[in-house]
């Protein structure tokens, strides 16, 4: 379940493009996230994918005909438009975009789009030359000017066999936009939260680095959760294999020193800093400009201490640290909290295989500087992120008041 999607009514408009198959995946991810998805298909969309396929995924009737006596729309043709929290048209063909720009209402989808007060996302999918056509560009501009969010299209392989711009964006990108729009008035709206993620890399020479096992998953989950709750979110991240979260300001860094500079910059206008990054405590004293050669049987590396980013971040800001420990969890975490002047510390036992590095779940203790302790069971990192942000929200409110 994704809290920002829970019980939200989303109308998924599907128009006639070969990319219809990707809309099945989107319908599935939205439904899994807890949304109630009403699929509205154009007649040509039903030539690519059957309504049965969408109905099987969403467990809701699929609307294809304005005059179908079985359909809710035939009774009250603006019913879907009124109950929708958000409409997303994916894939949107050049023809359906033109109809939207003109304000036509000659099928269930265009009728719903005209009648709704909810935000609308349009994800175009078409041949590259069609997309570049001035008529399509003008129509998209009209929609944009009216407040519609246009997502994509992507560049790449097209159904015609050519390369070009016209591919429907992938599901995670659409999910990011949907979540950001639905969450924009959430309980963190109006605040800026800086999150750090990943393991810093400290170069030894042009080919080698010293790093650690951090996957970045916890930090990315925190950034997405903060965005879903309406915060302006800045993610300062060391290299990871994770894609950039949508609607989050992503700042890429490599070393601890770079991370320090970017965290300082971002926190100058922020109300909270959540340091989920695994910052290298030491870096090679000298990074060799040339690749080191193995010219002796042993070698000694001289390391120098990195600055402590959390300790050095000062100002009226809520500071949250993470403590990855292999023994004396609570005691070590409490000492770290005091030493670094934190408001909150999230401690996990890295020797526990279920919550160690790279895992999708985490079992943590959240300790507050006032002695409060929350001992959470094993849960997905997304859920941990929300529990941490609940505390951050309360701390930010206390700081303000």
Asked if 204 and 284 touch (Cβ cutoff 8 Å), the reply is yes
Query: Residue 350 has what DSSP assignment?
Result: T
Q: Counting contacts by CB under 6 A, is residue 310 touching ligand CTP?
A: yes
Binding piece for ligand CTP, criterion CB under 6 A, among 86-94, 202-210, 275-283, 373-381? 275-283
Catalytic residue among 95, 133, 139, 212: 212
In whole angstroms, give the CA distance from residue 4 to residue 386: 11
Per-residue string for binding with ligand CTP, 323-352, x by CB under 6 A? Answer: xx-----------x----------------
CA distances from 253 to 202, 242, 272, 288, 333 (A): 11, 14, 20, 20, 26
Query: How far, in Å, CA of 359 to CA of 8, rounded?
Result: 29
Query: Least CB distance from residue 357 to ligand CTP, whole Å?
Result: 12
* Strand 120-124, strand 149-150: pairing: parallel
CB of 236 to ligand CTP, least distance (A): 11
Question: Which residues 80-119 are close enough to bind ligand CTP by CB under 6 A?
Answer: none
Buried b (16+ CB within 10 A) or exposed e, 86-120: bbbbbbbbbbbbbbbbeeebebbbbbbbebbebbb
Is 348 an annotated catalytic residue? Answer: no
Q: Which of 128, 183, 245, 321 binds ligand CTP (CB under 6 A)?
A: 321
Closest by Cα among 143, 73, 82, 61 to 108:
73
Q: What is the smallest separation between the CB atom of 81 and ligand CTP, expressed in angstroms?
A: 46
Interaction of residue 256 with ligand CTP, rule CB under 6 A: yes
Name which position in 308, 352, 374, 390 contacts ligand CTP (CB under 6 A).
Answer: 308
Nearer to ligand CTP, 220 or 322 (CB): 322
- CA gyration radius, the chain: 25
Nearer to ligand CTP, 48 or 264 (CB): 264
Separation between Cα atoms, residue 286 and residue 303, nearest integer Å: 8
CA distances, 124 to each of 17, 79, 133, 359 (Å) = 10, 25, 13, 35
- Is beta strand 232-237 parallel, antiparallel or unpaired with respect to 272-275? unpaired
Please choose, out of 122-130, 295-303, 305-313, 367-375, the segment that lies near ligand CTP by the rule CB under 6 A: 305-313
CA-closest candidate to residue 248, choices 183, 319, 155: 183
| β-strands 232-237, 192-197 pairing | parallel
**Minimum distance from CB of 200 to ligand CTP (Å)?**
8
Among 31, 112, 267, 306, binds ligand CTP (CB under 6 A): 306
CA-wise closest residue to 120 among 155, 161, 80: 80
Q: Say whether residue 273 binds ligand CTP (CB under 6 A).
A: no
Contact 157, 238 (CB under 8 A): no
Phi and psi angles of residue 67, each rounded to the nearest 5 degrees, phi first: -110, 15
For ligand CTP, which stretch binds (CB under 6 A), given 242-250, 315-323, 356-364, 382-390? 315-323
In the DSSP assignment, the letter for residue 278 is B
Among the listed ranges 3-11, 117-125, 176-184, 307-315, the one in contact with ligand CTP (CB under 6 A) is 307-315
Number of residues this chain uses to bind ligand CTP (CB under 6 A): 14
Taking CB under 6 A as the binding criterion, the range among 14-22, 58-66, 322-330, 368-376 that sits at the site for ligand CTP is 322-330
Q: Which is nearer to ligand CTP, 275 or 395 (CB)?
A: 275
Question: Per rule CB under 6 A, is residue 277 in the interface with ligand CTP?
Answer: yes
Give me the residues that bind ligand CTP (CB under 6 A), please: 256, 275, 277, 279, 281, 306, 308-310, 321-324, 336
Active site residues: 212
């Amino acid at each position: 379940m994704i809290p920002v999607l829970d019980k939200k009514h989303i109308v998924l408009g599907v128009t006639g493009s070969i990319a219809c198959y990707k809309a099945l995946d989107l319908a599935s991810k939205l439904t899994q996230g807890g949304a109630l998805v009403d699929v509205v298909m154009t007649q040509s969309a039903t030539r690519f994918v059957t309504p049965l396929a969408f109905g099987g995924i969403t467990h809701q009737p699929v609307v294809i005909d304005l005059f179908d006596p079985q359909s809710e729309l035939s009774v009250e043709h603006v019913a879907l438009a009124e109950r929708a929290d958000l409409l997303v048209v994916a894939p949107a063909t050049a023809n359906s975009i033109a109809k939207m720009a003109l304000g036509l209402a000659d099928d269930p989808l265009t009728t719903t789009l005209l009648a709704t007060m909810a935000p609308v996302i349009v994800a175009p999918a078409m041949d590259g030359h069609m997309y570049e056509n001035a008529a399509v560009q003008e129509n998209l501009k009209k929609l944009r000017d009216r407040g519609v969010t246009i997502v994509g299209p992507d560049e790449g392989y097209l159904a015609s066999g050519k390369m070009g711009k016209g591919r429907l964006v992938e599901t995670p990108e659409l999910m990011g936009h949907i979540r950001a729009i639905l969450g924009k008035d959430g309980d963190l709206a109006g605040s800026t939260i800086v999150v750090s993620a990943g393991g810093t890399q400290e170069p030894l020479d042009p080919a080698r680095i010293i790093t650690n096992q951090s996957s970045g998953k916890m930090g990315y989950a925190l950034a997405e959760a903060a965005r879903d709750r309406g915060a302006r979110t800045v993610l300062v991240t060391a290299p990871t294999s994770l894609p950039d979260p949508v609607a989050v300001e992503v700042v890429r860094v490599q070393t601890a020193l770079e991370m320090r500079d970017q965290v300082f910059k971002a926190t100058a206008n922020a109300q909270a800093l959540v340091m989920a990054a695994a910052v290298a405590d030491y870096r090679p004293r000298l990074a060799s400009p040339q690749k080191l050669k193995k010219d002796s049987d042993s070698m000694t590396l001289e390391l120098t201490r990195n600055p402590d980013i959390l300790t050095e971040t000062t100002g009226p800001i809520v500071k949250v640290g993470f403590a990855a420990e292999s023994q004396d969890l609570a005691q070590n975490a409490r000492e770290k909290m005091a030493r670094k002047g934190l408001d909150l510390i999230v401690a996990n036992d890295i020797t526990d295989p279920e919550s160690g590095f790279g895992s999708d779940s985490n079992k943590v203790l959240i300790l507050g500087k006032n002695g409060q302790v929350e001992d959470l069971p094993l849960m997905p990192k997304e859920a941990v992120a929300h529990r941490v942000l609940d505390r951050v929200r309360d701390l930010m409110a206390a700081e303000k008041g």
